[in-house]
């Protein structure tokens, strides 16, 4: 990235509070954190890894207090895609001020919903049945990799049905929409994701890629004719391109789902009989089982909320990952979001569309991924307790509140200025008995620490100070005390 010296100097002086021509590394990282770019971001780590002293030797910013002069800063700021410069210049997908407001809202939602114990974990396989129902995390990621997370966002879970949009995207990239939709439809099924009577249309095609039959048929389109290991590698590599990490297969989940997936085998046999399982030879008795096995492998990939938020941000950014790598074409991303919009939330998709109005996908492990294309970001939650349609109770509530808090429903308030709904006390705002000023003040301290609170010189390094469980519990207790009897 090539930036003029005057622009570099302007951003440098914004960090140089002492006006002495040098900045502490922790001050730089703290300023980046305030914009949502974390010290663990691979782009930041790569930029800092190249810092050299005047004698040319490497400086270990991660283990010692270091001051950076303007020459060193200029190299850091322009490294790679220039994320350091763009963050300090306010040129990211979301401004630092707006990102902090998002983060404070998420902090308050987390505190409000932490006591909510409605719903039940999925119980049809042991690894889902044995999940800790108390787990709860929320992560947001923007197109430029701005990240805020709270709670259990690094705890891994099997991605389950939230893999389906990305399977569809890979198939579209390889074959194009015309060929893909010869085999898989685009319409709502009108029933649950595993309904044997509604999953296939009259022509034998699965109704859409978001139900089990459709996902099995979609994956049959990926690298057709290649062996299973090569196809599995293609899918994992796609996840790595979106998230920066190649997901691992959770063996226990895979084995349990494979051994209990009789309904999925029935779907695959139906596709075989209708000649809608691409690449399968008519006399290949193993084809349905192989198709289901591949589908089950993909559902059993392990991710966490922060990584899934990066994948969602890739769709929000027209197929470009937060790292800047193009993974899908804009046309593919748009088609995927369209199908998510009408069929992404199981048999609760219609109600979700009415109340939220944004594309989303859920998985029975308790994850929900909501994409906000207008803001270039994704919101992901993890909470294993599910409602009767198989969607995370807390996750759906976070989506509703985020949309209502920031006026993001695309079909409501059209023509009005973007912002929070003006109707106070509508029942949708989550502040309850606490007024808006109190809510912001309550959340601001913890969020500012999480976004920009970094260790000072002499403490052995620089890292984001996470909001502690005690702090979160204290906030939740304060809000419950102020809102006795509030229904969550």
Annotated binding site for substrate: 161, 212, 257, 264, 295, 346, 364
Residues annotated in the binding site, as ranges? 161, 212, 257, 264, 295, 346, 364
Provide long-range contacts, Cβ within 8 A and 24+ apart, for 111-116: 111/443, 111/472, 111/475, 111/476, 111/479, 112/430, 112/432, 112/476, 112/479, 112/488, 113/394, 113/397, 113/398, 113/488, 114/472, 114/473, 114/476, 115/476, 115/480, 115/488, 116/393, 116/394, 116/397, 116/488
Q: Is 234 helix (H, G, I), strand (E, B) or coil?
A: helix
Number of Cβ within a 10 Å radius of residue 443: 23
Q: Are 81 and 43 in contact (CB under 8 A)?
A: yes
DSSP string for residues in 360-423: EEEETTTEEEEEETTTTEEEEEE---B-TTS-BHHHHHHHHHHHHHHT--TTSSTTSPSSS-S-
Q: Is 58 helix (H, G, I), strand (E, B) or coil?
A: strand
Q: Where are the alpha helices (DSSP H) in 158-261?
A: 164-175, 177-183, 212-219, 228-243, 251-260
């Amino acid at each position: 990235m090539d930036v003029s010296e005057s622009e570099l100097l302007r951003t440098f002086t914004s960090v140089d509070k002492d006006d002495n021509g040098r900045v502490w590394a922790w001050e730089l990282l703290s300023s980046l954190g305030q914009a949502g770019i974390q010290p663990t971001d691979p782009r930041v780590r790569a930029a800092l890894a190249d810092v050299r002293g005047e004698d040319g030797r490497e400086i270990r910013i991660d283990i010692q207090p270091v001051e950076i002069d303007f020459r060193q800063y200029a190299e850091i700021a322009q490294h790679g895609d220039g994320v350091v410069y763009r963050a300090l210049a306010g040129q990211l997908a979301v401004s630092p001020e707006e990102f902090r407001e998002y983060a404070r809202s998420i902090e308050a939602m987390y505190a409000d919903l932490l006591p909510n114990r409605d719903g039940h974990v999925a119980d049809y396989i042991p690894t889902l049945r044995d999940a800790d129902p108390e787990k709860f995390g929320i992560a947001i990621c923007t197109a430029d990799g701005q990240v805020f997370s709270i709670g259990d966002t690094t705890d891994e879970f099997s991605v389950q049905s939230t893999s389906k949009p990305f399977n569809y995207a890979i198939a579209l990239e390889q074959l194009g929409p015309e060929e893909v939709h010869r085999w898989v439809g685009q319409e709502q099924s009108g029933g649950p994701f595993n309904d044997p009577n509604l999953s296939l249309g009259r022509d034998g095609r699965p109704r859409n890629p978001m139900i089990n039959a459709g996902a099995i048929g979609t994956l049959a389109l990926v690298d057709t004719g290649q062996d299973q290991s090569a196809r599995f590698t293609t899918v994992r590599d796609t996840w790595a391109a979106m998230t920066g990490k190649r997901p691992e297969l959770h063996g226990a989940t895979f084995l349990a789902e494979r051994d209990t997936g009789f309904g999925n085998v029935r779907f695959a046999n139906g596709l075989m009989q209708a000649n809608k399982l691409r690449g399968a030879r008519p006399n290949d008795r193993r084809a349905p089982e192989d198709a289901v096995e591949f589908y089950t492998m993909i559902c059993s990939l392990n991710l966490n909320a922060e990584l899934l938020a990066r994948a969602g941000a890739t769709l929000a950014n027209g197929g470009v990952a937060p790292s800047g790598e193009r993974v899908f074409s804009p046309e593919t991303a748009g088609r995927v979001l369209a199908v998510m919009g009408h069929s992404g939330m199981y048999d609760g998709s219609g109600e979700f569309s009415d109340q939220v109005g944004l594309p989303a996908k859920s998985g029975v492990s308790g994850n929900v991924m909501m994409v906000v294309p207008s803001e270039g970001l994704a919101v992901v939650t993890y909470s294993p307790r599910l409602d009767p349609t198989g969607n995370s109770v807390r996750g759906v509530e976070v989506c509703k509140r985020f949309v209502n808090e920031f006026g993001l429903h695309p079909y409501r308030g059209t023509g009005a200025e973007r912002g929070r709904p003006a109707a106070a006390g509508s029942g949708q705002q989550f502040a309850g008995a606490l007024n808006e000023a109190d809510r912001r003040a309550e959340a601001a301290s913890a969020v500012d620490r999480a976004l920009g609170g970094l260790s000072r010189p002499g403490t052995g390094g620089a890292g984001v100070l996470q909001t502690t469980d005690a702090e979160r519990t204290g906030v939740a207790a304060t809000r419950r005390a102020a809102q006795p009897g509030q229904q969550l």
